[in-house]
Chain A
Amino acid sequence: MAKRGRCNCGEIHFVVEGEPERMALCHCDACRRATGTGHNVQAFFRKDQVEITGTPSAYEWTADSGNTRKWLFCPKCGSRLFGENSRAPDMVGIAAGAFEDSSWFKPQFIVCSGQRPDWDMVDPAIEVRS
Chain B
Amino acid sequence: MRVSGPARAMMLCTCTECQKVTGAGHSGVAIFNRADVEISGPLTAFARKADSGATLTRYFCPTCGTPVYAETSRWTGAILLPPGFFGGGGWFAPKQVIFHRSHLEWDVLPDIALFDTYREA
- How far apart sit A103 and B28, CA to CA, in the bound complex (Å)? 22
Q: Which of A39, A78, A95, A118 contacts B90 (CB 8 A)?
A: A118
Stretch of A5-13, A14-22, A47-55, A84-92 on the interface side: A5-13
Stretch of B34-42, B71-79, B105-113 on the interface side: B105-113
On whether the beta carbons of A96 and B46 are closer than 8 Å, the reply is no
On whether the beta carbons of A121 and B110 are closer than 8 Å, the reply is yes
The SS class assigned to the B binding surface is loop
B101 interfacial contact with A, CB 8 Å: no
User: Using Cβ atoms and an 8 Å threshold, which residues of chain B touch A106?
Assistant: 106
On whether the beta carbons of B108 and A123 are closer than 8 Å, the reply is yes
On whether the beta carbons of A33 and B87 are closer than 8 Å, the reply is yes
Q: Which of A59, A96, A121 contacts B65 (CB 8 A)?
A: A59
Q: In this complex, what residue of B is CB-closest to A60?
A: B64
- How far apart sit A102 and B90, CA to CA, in the bound complex (Å)? 29
Number of interface residues of A (CB under 8 A): 45
User: Using Cβ atoms and an 8 Å threshold, which residues of chain B touch A78?
Assistant: 21, 44, 46, 58, 60, 65, 67
The SS class assigned to the A binding surface is loop
Q: State the Cβ distance, B114 to closest chain A Cβ, in Å.
A: 13
On whether the beta carbons of B17 and A8 are closer than 8 Å, the reply is yes
- How far apart sit A102 and B60, CA to CA, in the bound complex (Å)? 25
On whether the beta carbons of B28 and A36 are closer than 8 Å, the reply is yes
On whether the beta carbons of A80 and B21 are closer than 8 Å, the reply is yes
On whether the beta carbons of A39 and B87 are closer than 8 Å, the reply is no
Contact with A along B20-56 (1 / 0, CB 8 A): 1111111110000000000000001010100000000
On whether the beta carbons of B58 and A41 are closer than 8 Å, the reply is no
Q: Knowing A78-B46, A106-B106 are in contact, say whether A8-B20 is a contact too (CB < 8 A).
A: yes
B63 interfacial contact with A, CB 8 Å: yes
On whether the beta carbons of B89 and A117 are closer than 8 Å, the reply is yes
Q: State the Cβ distance, A1 to closest chain B Cβ, in Å.
A: 18
A67 interfacial contact with B, CB 8 Å: no
Q: Knowing A38-B83, A73-B65, A75-B62 are in contact, say whether A102-B104 is a contact too (CB < 8 A).
A: yes
Residues of A within 8 A of B (CB): 6-9, 29, 32-42, 57, 59, 71, 73-81, 95-98, 102-103, 105-107, 115, 117-123
Known: A36-B83, A59-B63, A81-B23. 14 other contacts (CB 8 A): A7-B20, A33-B87, A34-B66, A35-B67, A36-B22, A37-B26, A38-B83, A38-B84, A41-B23, A75-B62, A77-B58, A95-B23, A95-B24, A98-B23
